[in-house]
Structures are given as C-alpha cells and as structure tokens.
Amino acid sequence: MSLKLCENQPLVNKQTLLTELAQVLSFPEYFGHNWDAAWDCLTELSFEKGPIILELDLTGKSVDEHELAIFTELLDEASEYWQGEGQILKLNVFRA
C-alpha cells in the first residue's frame, strides 16, 4: 500500500507531518500529535493490506529541516521495528 504525505501542503513542519501521518495511517482519535505518540501508533499498525510505503515529495515546499530529520529518524526506527516482525514499513522522500 503506497500512501502520499503532505501532498497538498506548501509547508512541511512538525504539525503537518504528524497530522498527515495520523490521517494516512488512520491513527486512533486519542493520538497526541507528538513524536512519542507517533512512535506508539507506528508500532501498533495493522498490515492487513501488505507493506506500507509512505511517499513524501518535498519539491517546491517550505521545509522545517530539523523536524524533517526527527520525522525521518522516527520512520527509520519504526521500519527497523517492523522488519524484526517480518513486515515492511518504508519512507521514500523526494526532492527536486
């Protein structure tokens, strides 16, 4: 399953990254919109539809590089977690 993040967002920051992640992965209502809560939800995902591939195209967007680095580290760690469980979670980031 391939999912696009921040497709219609001109600004990519902590708020938009967490909001988009929660939306595309159907995080529960109680999601706290912080990095720790994102980790908790990422490690409770359902892989009923197979591998999860997240795509983030930063072309032409204003990007908070610090928050993006935290986000990519979070997804890398979640990917490693799921690899140990025999599942695939991957983030692809594109820039022009």
Residues linked to residue 11 through DSSP beta bridges, in sequence order = 62
Q: Residue 48 is part of a domain; what is its CATH number? A: 3.30.370
What is the CB-side half-sphere exposure of residue 64 using CA atoms within 13 A? 14
pLDDT digit string (tens) for 34-83? 999 999 999 998 877 789 999 999 999 999 999 999 999 999 999 999 99
Residue range of the domain that includes 41:
2-94
Count of the separate structural domains present in the chain: 1
What is the CB-side half-sphere exposure of residue 5 using CA atoms within 13 A? 29
The pLDDT of residue 1 is above 90: no
The pLDDT of residue 30 is above 80: yes
